[in-house]
Amino acid sequence: MMALEVKEKEERKENKLYVIDSRCVPIAEEELQRGVAVLQQEITLEEARILVSGGFISAVRNEFNAELLSGILNTYVPCNKSAVFLHPGDIALLFILHDPARIDYTLVFAHVITPVRVNLEETIKEIEDKYKDFRKSMLDTSHQKRRKR
């Protein structure tokens, strides 16, 4: 059992791109327990075509959606009813079909990340120090310009 776990971790070295016909991003249970975030941004059709041009894993579970996506993206998108779960670093192209009759859809880029935990007080102090340095340099520059006149 232990050797299998190591092998699975070795296979995770490369981040993966999934095409999914859902609003939801399926996250692996162990990643949910550790804490992850999903950053999402609506993208254009051209951006989606570029995204999938390097290859992807289909997680499109509906045959109609797979055929529709194949036509929209100009690349074959197979129907795949196997469950997939994303991990930090993985990317998904979400296909959200609003109205099949009018072929009204939205394409969303989703990136699974591990949120960075920061000490808020230290971050605020660092920002304040940078601002003070910036103000000082601006004042020094202003004084130098006055002296040149």
Q: Give the neighbor-by-neighbor strand order of the sheet with 17-20.
A: 37-42, 104-113, 91-99, 17-20, 57-59
Average pLDDT over residues 38-61: 93
Confidence of residue 6 (pLDDT cuts 50, 70, 90): very low
pLDDT tops 70 at residue 144:
no
pLDDT tops 80 at residue 130:
no
Q: Write down the pLDDT at residue 32.
A: 83
Q: Write down the pLDDT at residue 76.
A: 97
pLDDT tops 60 at residue 2:
no
CB of 94 closer than 8 Å to CB of 23:
yes
pLDDT tops 80 at residue 140:
no
CB of 128 closer than 8 Å to CB of 54:
no
Dihedral Cα 10, 16, 20, 25, nearest 10 deg: 70
Quick: pLDDT tens for 104-129: 999 999 999 887 655 667 767 777 77
Half-sphere exposure of 73 (CA within 13 A, CB side): 29
Quick: pLDDT tens for 74-90: 999 999 999 999 999 99
Strands (E), 1-149: 17-20, 37-42, 57-59, 91-99, 104-113
Quick: pLDDT tens for 10-47: 345 588 999 999 989 999 888 888 888 888 999 999 99
pLDDT tops 50 at residue 5:
no
pLDDT tops 70 at residue 145:
no
CB of 60 closer than 8 Å to CB of 21:
yes
pLDDT tops 90 at residue 63:
yes
